[in-house]
Structure 1
Amino acid sequence: MAGYLGNGQQNGSRQALNAYFAHGEQEEMVDLNGYRSPRNVNNSFDFSFQDGPASPAPASPKPVAPYRPGLQQKRYSPPDYSTGSGWLTTQTPRSSRGPDSFSDSPYDSRAASPTMYSQDVQQSHQSLAPLVKESASPGFAKDWVQSGSIARLNDRDDAEIWKGWKRWIFFFTPFLTFGNTAIYLLYLALRIYCIISAQNKAHTNFAGAWVFVAIEIAVMIPSLMHNCWTMMALKKRGRPRLRLTGNDCPTVDVFVTCCGEEDEVVLDTVRGALDQDYPTDRFRVIVLDDGKSSSLEAAVNQMTVNAPNLYYMAREKIPGKPHHFKAGNLNYGLEQVTLLPAGAGQFMAALDADMIPEQDWLRAVLPHLLVDPKMALACPPQLFYNAPASDPLAQSLDFFVHVIEPIKDALGVAWCTGSGYVVRREALEEIGNFPLGSLAEDVATSTLMLGKGWKTAYVHEPLQFGTVPEDYGGHLKQRTRWAIGTVDTAFKLKFCLWGDSVRLMSFAQRFSGFLYATLSLYTLLLTASLFAIPIILLWQKQLVAYANDDQLHWLIWACFATTLMNRLCEFALFIPAGYHTGQRGSRYQLWMSPYIALCIVRSFILPKWLGGQTQAFKPTGSLGSALNERDPQTRRNLFVRLRVILFNYMGLFHFAFVYVTLIAVVISSYRCFAISSGFKDTIICLITHAFWPPVTFLFIVTSLWTPVSYAIDPPSMPPREDLLTRDPKTGVAHPTNKSKKIAFGGQAAWFELEYTLATVVTVLVFVYSFFF
């Protein structure tokens, strides 16, 4: 791999990269001590960093005839490793390639893994300069911008998603967040002062109050860090809405990664990718099938009759040898496209198997890479068309893609969303292609690029729509895999605080990497804190201690101010995604925390001999068949759904927690009625025990009840085909406008009622405080 780095980079970077991409992985998803060398993509060869002279710079390609995909042989055959022949060992020099080549364009086509030279970026970007029509905005103005074919449709890429009065309210989010944080800190300080005063007066220890305030402080820490990040939204985001026009476009290899999905789901994505409003001689669609489905291969090969720029590839997987999942599949594709007669495109794009792109996807994303020579990657949000009404499991990701990612983009730290992204090949080459040994290769890839001084962009437009997991187990597996991958990446990158891999990161980029990894780890403490309220109440201790009525008045007033300020802050912050979406996300953090905490403990704390294993959540026992809980015709009966979710999917923990908490509330309340001598004493006892505003136990138990309520009354969804509009001639399908939006259902109404009642209780307690 000496050829990966230019002469000026080899000596200083080889040792660091060798240490970073550590070898020695013995089992998939178990040994994640370091990213593997990404050159072992086909399980038949493995290169490591070696000393030696850098490869000489390749000569500039000679002008040749235009690329015509239709002239190429369409049957893809994997190389024969046993004979030492095949594409991997007989790569044709670019200068000698025939007419089937990208080289007719002004874009210097590069292989996935050639020698990386520092001048490549500048040279390739100079060749792209004629594509730019005008400066997109002052922030994108460059001295090399010339007339060409990039149109600027709007000053903001998200102008059609949310606008008007919502933008004015969102403008106040940083100020509301600052005020909310300040008031909450004052409230906690007052709580501690009152506990100390009460102990000095009563000459006793209020252990329950100390435990309660300690839990409040512990839970406050991640919220405080997140608030600090949210306050950075004060920096306005000015990414415009751009479109690449005309036919003089860069060449792109579009990878559709799949592994065992239904053929029709994959084919719909392939049809959408082929239906791009983009010159067909400038892009290819390559289906990377890690499941090696013969039926999918046959269907794709049949489509190539009318789509000469479509290819099917399936890598060989040697039993017992790690294949590195999606990252390995992508790296395999990067390697193989260099061996096609046309060579590799200058840009690479990727789509998940179920993500149907809109027709202007490539023309919308590519301009953001063309206007900035250091822009490595641009990605749109992942949106979904099969999320059920109320989205009971919070599967939509709307809060992340509509609130968090735009803030990250404004600060120059946009994450790769995993699908729909377009990436510059030079940037991939500099980090050694997609890092292996990670369950979150998208986050790792964008983080490594930022660490090398590249930029990433988030294009806030609805450009792709996919499907969420349709069963409870699939959802758990997906989300716990994301959490483990994020934490694992953070460990390898030293939480983005130091190291050669993050050397060129800005403060905001380092803070972002540290924050979101820490928030995932914080599920351990959040899970432990859930037990605080029921334990204290069963312990017959009060949650709030005070020395006199004046202190109680101040505590209630401070709690009232904190609660209402928090409601205002939530409303303003959630606006881009929708208020109910934000509330779903808050509940999701609570009920998912035991699953994520369990997987983190198994992955990073427990040794192997005690059951430690780096993997996503796996159900216990054996499932006889799928629950099909969202299909009203084939779903299993209530008893089976409850048995599977409660026992196989650990829902019994949630069930037990809810009932223990409710029993604790009942016992504590009964005790208040039994020992209190009058109405005032009874009300104060209830307030300072279970019903301290904003009635936290109510929010916790309704959130933890989610798995049980889902098992009892799962949402019903129509067949996937009913959510699509399909062209009868071409077969191209896109989601209907209705399916792109999450309907307001009964569960959302119930939770809103519960949240409103908690706020009303807070207001009533505040008013009553003036009468005692």
Structure 2
Amino acid sequence: MGVVNTALSVMAYDYPIEKLSVYVSDDGGSKLTLFAFMEAARFAAHWLPYCRKNKVVERCPKAHFGSSNPSRFPETDQIKTMYESMRVRVENVIKRGSISHDYITKQGESEALSRWTDGFTPQNHPSVVQVLLENGKDNDATGHGMPNLVYISREKSTDSPHHFKAGALNVLLRVSATMTNAPVILTLDSDMYSNDPQTPLRALCYLLDPSMDPKLGYVQFPQVFHGINKNDIYGGELRHVFEVHMPGMDWLAGPIHAGSGGFFRRRVFYGCPSETLEMNQGRQVSHSIKSREVLEMAHHVAGCKYENQTKWGRKMGFRYGSLVEDLYTSCLLQCEGWKSIYCNPKRPAFLGKSPINLHDFLNQTMRWSVGLLEVAFSRYSPITFGVQSISLLSGLCFAHYTFWPIWAIPVTIYAFLPQLALLNSASIFPKVWPSMHPFALYY
């Protein structure tokens, strides 16, 4: 339900419906997730006109209905009942682990779910590309068009390497290129829902401004978190990153990509600004996204062997080689000549979740630490390659992130040293005698 709420919040953007497509990546390949989005597609037919008619600002259903001061409109109770009914059906299916035949209302849904055979596992399964909504053919309850909604699960094979999030993002890039080929792409984590329906327009103010640098590759919004305890004892809000580091880097070549909330030109994933496009950015998709030709090509580019003997992951798309593909990719994009810009509006563009217990925080910190050190000691280390390719200051900024895990050593020492000194009645600081400093008596 978390990713369903996220998808519904961006489907309801104040943006021309015919130019908006939402692609959902399910890397585990679960038919329960596909079922949840079948339910979301049905609910969207009522949710989108409700938001449009009443000019709702919080367009995440859970946030809208769960607000302490919810907005009240004539249709609110009816839409809330629909949402709760959808939530109950999805949670019942998740709890049972199977989908009741009573929940399947269309022939196409049954055919889509029939792909999950006994040999279908999260680590070994064919690619799945399912069009749930198609603009121009599917209308909402008021007769208006709806944005494209596409479910994607890339092919997995025990014989082929899995490049985790970066590999899934590259599949999204290729599949979306075959279907709609939009020139601007938003990457969004499943737990970061849209908090402002005007966000795309804010990003386009930079990307379409003729006075901006033509090498501007992406616009990065900060990650703002909700549900964190009052004292934020684990530092989950990352204020030093989004309130200090990124505004500082904004004066150089631009901030890093934070993994979510970034509006990219599709062009940046196919080479440096001076290179010729391998895939024509201006190509218009003339066929229906449900046509046999388009779906066959989409399944083909989502295959696990498609990237063999290609530049994907090295010179194209999100880069492989680190668990922190966001920082690694943004660093290499700046090394190629692209720039970025930081946009921090008064109303947060996105709201997401952050670890609120020690176990989750340690798991996240471990993943970040391993990924950052992979970048720090790679051939594209910011301290060597980055300093030469971008600039001294920008390279050092990226190096500050990549070598951040090493701070664990002095911090750990400093955490235990005072206690050990106290147990041994020793002082860890040098003594200062009055004769050594004229102002020592005032300490």
Q: If the length of structure 1 is used for normalisation, what is the TM-score?
A: 0.36
Alignment size in residue pairs: 292
Q: Distance in 2 between matches of 1:556 and 1:486?
A: 47
Shift of 1:336: 1.3
Match of 2:393 in 1: 508
Give a deviation string over 1:77-108, Cα, whole Å, max 9, x none.
xxxxxxxxxxxxxxxxxxxxxxxxxxxxxxxx
Does the CA contact (< 8 Å) of 1:546 and 1:552 recur in 2?
A: no
AA matched with 2:331:
T
Structure 2 residue aligned with 1:533, among 402, 411, 418?
418
Structure 1 residue aligned with 2:335, among 422, 438, 451?
451
Does the CA contact (< 8 Å) of 1:274 and 1:285 recur in 2?
A: yes
Percent same amino acid among aligned pairs? 28
CA 1:544–1:467 in 2, change beyond 3 Å: closer, same or farther?
A: closer
Shift of 1:337: 1.7
1:372-411 pair list within 5 angstroms: 372-411=213-252
AA matched with 1:467:
K
CA 1:352–1:548 in 2, change beyond 3 Å: closer, same or farther?
A: closer
CA 1:334–1:547 in 2, change beyond 3 Å: closer, same or farther?
A: closer
1:331 corresponds to 2:165? no
Give secondary structure in 2 for the equivalent of 1:277: coil
Shift of 1:269: 0.3
CA 1:555–1:425 in 2, change beyond 3 Å: closer, same or farther?
A: farther
Shift of 1:348: 1.5
Structure 1 residue aligned with 2:316, among 428, 432, 435?
432
CA 1:408–1:493 in 2, change beyond 3 Å: closer, same or farther?
A: farther
Q: Distance in 1 between matches of 2:427 and 2:233?
A: 34
Give secondary structure in 1 for the equivalent of 2:421: helix
Shift of 1:288: 0.8
Match of 2:202 in 1: 364
Shift of 1:493: 4.7
Question: Is the deviation greater in 514-523 or in 287-296?
Answer: 514-523
AA matched with 2:320:
L
Q: Distance in 1 between matches of 2:398 and 2:379?
A: 9
Shift of 1:504: 2.9
Match of 2:253 in 1: 412
CA 1:442–1:541 in 2, change beyond 3 Å: closer, same or farther?
A: same
Match of 1:311 in 2: 150
Match of 1:486 in 2: 372
Larger radius of gyration: 1
Q: Distance in 2 between matches of 1:556 and 1:323?
A: 65
1:298 corresponds to 2:35? yes
Q: Distance in 2 between matches of 1:556 and 1:268?
A: 63
Give a deviation string over 1:352-396, Cα, whole Å, max 9, x none.
001111211211122222233101111100011211222222211
Match of 1:348 in 2: 185
AA matched with 2:415:
L
Q: Distance in 1 between matches of 2:330 and 2:8?
A: 28
Give a deviation string over 1:148-188, Cα, whole Å, max 9, x none.
xxxxxxxxxxxxxxxxxxxxxxxxxxxxxxxxxxxxxxxxx
AA matched with 2:8:
R
Does the CA contact (< 8 Å) of 1:327 and 1:436 recur in 2?
A: yes
Q: Distance in 2 between matches of 1:360 and 1:348?
A: 16
Match of 1:280 in 2: 17
AA matched with 2:344:
H
AA matched with 1:379:
Q
Shift of 1:299: 3.0
CA 1:324–1:511 in 2, change beyond 3 Å: closer, same or farther?
A: same
Q: Distance in 1 between matches of 2:216 and 2:178?
A: 26
CA 1:547–1:401 in 2, change beyond 3 Å: closer, same or farther?
A: closer
1:498 corresponds to 2:235? no
AA matched with 2:318:
F
Q: Distance in 1 between matches of 2:409 and 2:184?
A: 40
Structure 2 gap segments, 5+ residues each: 42-132, 141-145, 272-314
Shift of 1:285: 0.5
Does the CA contact (< 8 Å) of 1:385 and 1:466 recur in 2?
A: yes
AA matched with 1:394:
G
AA matched with 2:192:
M
Does the CA contact (< 8 Å) of 2:369 and 2:405 recur in 1?
A: yes
More helix by share: 1
Give a deviation string over 1:17-67, Cα, whole Å, max 9, x none.
xxxxxxxxxxxxxxxxxxxxxxxxxxxxxxxxxxxxxxxxxxxxxxxxxxx
Shift of 1:539: 3.5
Structure 1 gap segments, 5+ residues each: 1-263, 558-765, 767-772
Shift of 1:459: 0.8
CA 1:555–1:294 in 2, change beyond 3 Å: closer, same or farther?
A: farther
1:542 corresponds to 2:381? no
Give secondary structure in 2 for the equivalent of 1:497: helix
CA RMSD, 1 decimal: 2.2
CA 1:502–1:332 in 2, change beyond 3 Å: closer, same or farther?
A: farther
Q: Distance in 2 between matches of 1:405 and 1:475?
A: 22
1:39-188 pair list within 5 angstroms: none
Shift of 1:465: 0.4
Q: Distance in 2 between matches of 1:545 and 1:441?
A: 45
AA matched with 1:314:
S
1:490-639 pair list within 5 angstroms: 490-499=376-385, 503-546=388-431, 548-551=433-436, 554-555=439-440
Give secondary structure in 2 for the equivalent of 1:328: helix
Q: Distance in 2 between matches of 1:310 and 1:486?
A: 34
Give secondary structure in 2 for the equivalent of 1:310: strand
AA matched with 1:361:
T
Q: If the length of structure 2 is used for normalisation, what is the TM-score?
A: 0.61
Give secondary structure in 2 for the equivalent of 1:376: strand
Q: Distance in 2 between matches of 1:320 and 1:493?
A: 27
CA 1:428–1:316 in 2, change beyond 3 Å: closer, same or farther?
A: same
Q: Distance in 2 between matches of 1:364 and 1:547?
A: 58
CA 1:355–1:556 in 2, change beyond 3 Å: closer, same or farther?
A: farther
Does the CA contact (< 8 Å) of 1:450 and 1:502 recur in 2?
A: no
Q: Distance in 1 between matches of 2:338 and 2:413?
A: 39
Shift of 1:423: 0.9
Shift of 1:472: 2.8
Does the CA contact (< 8 Å) of 1:375 and 1:455 recur in 2?
A: yes
